[in-house]
Chain A
């Protein structure tokens, strides 16, 4: 059963193909209707949060050109402290995880990303 209403997700990801992967996961989700918007670096992500209304959640890559995900998270949380941000990154150490959470990310998921884990994680921030 697909739940009512659509959920708007901002995906900050510089690698096109990794964006397509996340977009595909969300597009074909059986439980929710997701609307996906794409930022290609941290700066674009910050701008989109300010310009696009009703974003429900951000999937934030960490290593991106122009502005990285740590910096973008700090900026976004200044204006939107309650907007959930999930860090999604190929950095794999426990330090990176701790750092992502310390800059204000609400959750952290490592690449390669497990589809079901990601959908589960997103679900915990909705409703």
Chain B
């Protein structure tokens, strides 16, 4: 007999769902809150867990997060129950490792369908590595997102040009070719970024160093290239001084590009990006201060506390690029921190040891 655990603080709903499922022949465990739910899940290893999201003390997110850490419950399908008004929370639940969700009020048929789907999918017994969030899922998710966004333009425009070139005036064709080329370059940069990430996370390569080069010039060139692409050349202010460093241009370029691209993306035309270089003792500090919309405090905290891509945490997509940057900087023995400015925007500070 399949075992189902129901975690729900609304007792009427708990009873209703419990009645339906026991009538269908399932063995039912019920928990009136998240804390008891987690205990029962560890004790009975149910085949499926249904959990409400909004509960006092231990909520549904916490239930998912906790149960995904124990080998006994790491792969149990979890179906979240949520109110109509909380729908925007669902993504968070799914990112933490829930398998499906039901929106209240749901019908008996919807409930049974969701449960049967989960039971069938679980029989296919996916390899353990896919079920555990090893950080691999975060990487796959973001990689897929960024590739698809770039390819949207590349494939879209090239298909149009191939299928009916006679439909477009020369001016439109020039624009399309220009966009295809730009997105191609963009995609190349994205690929470089993920290759560096793979080098760090999978191959565990040590960081490369270049020949001694004029680092300030490299910094300005890289940022201006991004600014030009975003039509924001007028918005960049540099306060740098000549310094020669051996930092690899390839890996550091990924960092500089990602930070400046984000600064432009999350600010308006006219908002400035100020890039400063200071020598502090035997360290070089590079600061990127933008006047954009700033980062939610939760993102700032997540970036500053980040050490590894790993099992226990799932990352907000908006911060993922920053986490890759932090990983790269750390490889050079440097540090990466971000804070919201007192007025507008954020400041990102990189600190590299000067050799």
Q: Is B183 an interface residue (CB 8 A)?
A: yes
Q: Contacts A71-B88, A90-B149, A111-B152 known; A17 to B182 CB distance under 8 Å?
A: yes
Whether the Cβ atoms of A17 and B317 lie closer than 8 Å is no
Please tell me which stretch of B4-12, B153-161, B217-225, B247-255 contacts chain A, meaning at least 4 of its Cβ atoms lie within 8 angstroms of it.
B153-161
Chain A residues with CB below 8 A from B154, complex form? 112
A121 contacts the other chain (CB 8 A): no
The smallest beta-carbon distance between B260 and chain A, in angstroms, is 16
Complex CA distance for A24 and B176, rounded to whole angstroms: 9
Q: Does B144 contact A (CB under 8 A)?
A: yes
**CB of B210 to closest CB in A, whole Å:** 31
Number of contacting residues on A, CB 8 A?
Answer: 30
Q: Are B153 and A18 in contact (CB under 8 A)?
A: yes
Q: What is the CB-to-nearest-CB distance from B83 to chain A, in angstroms, rounded to a whole number?
A: 12
Least CB separation from B148: chain A residue: A90
Q: Indicate whether A15 reaches chain B with its CB closer than 8 angstroms.
A: yes
Q: With A and B bound together, what is the CA distance between A99 and B88 in angstroms?
A: 8
**Looking at the complex, which one of A21, A24, A95, A103 makes contact with B87 (CB distance below 8 Å)?**
A103
- Indicate whether A65 reaches chain B with its CB closer than 8 angstroms: yes
Q: Is the CB of A24 within 8 A of B160?
A: yes
Is A125 located at the chain interface by the 8 A CB criterion?
no
User: What's the minimum C-beta distance from B96 to chain A, rounded to whole angstroms?
Assistant: 13
Is B145 an interface residue when CB atoms closer than 8 A count as contact? yes
List the B side residues contacting A74 at CB < 8 Å. 87-88
| Category for how many chain B residues contact A | 20 to 34
B172 touches A70 (CB 8 A): no
How many angstroms between the C-alpha atoms of A90 and B153 in the bound complex? 12
Expressed in whole angstroms, the Cα–Cα distance for A74 and B87 within the complex equals 10
Return A116 CB to nearest CB of chain B, in Å: 9
Instruction: Tell me whether B148 and A21 are in contact (CB under 8 A).
Output: no
Asked whether A65 and B159 contact (CB < 8 A) given A74-B87, A92-B148, A111-B152, the answer is no
Residues of chain A within 8 A of B104, CB atoms compared: none
For A17, A21, A70, A111, which residue has the most chain B Cβ atoms within 10 angstroms? A17
Residues of B within 8 A of A25 (CB): 156, 160
* CB within 8 Å for A112 and B151 given contacts A65-B265, A92-B144, A102-B103: yes
Complex interface: chain A residues within 8 A of B265 (CB): 14, 65
Residues of B within 8 A of A21 (CB): 152-153, 156-157, 179
B332 beta carbon closer than 8 Å to chain A:
no
Cβ B266 vs Cβ A65 within 8 A? yes
Name the distance in Å between B12's Cβ and chain A's nearest Cβ.
24
How far, in Å, is B344 (CB) from chain A's closest CB?
Answer: 13
* B138-194, CB < 8 A from A: 144-146, 148-149, 151-157, 159-160, 167-168, 172, 175-176, 179, 182-183
**B91 nearest CB neighbor, chain A only:** A99
| Chain A contact residues, CB within 8 Å of chain B | 14-15, 17-18, 20-21, 24-25, 28, 30, 63, 65-66, 70-71, 74, 90-92, 95-96, 99, 102-103, 110-115
**What are 12 inter-chain pairs, A to B, with CB distance below 8 A?**
A14-B265, A20-B153, A25-B156, A28-B160, A28-B168, A70-B87, A70-B91, A74-B88, A90-B149, A90-B152, A95-B100, A102-B103
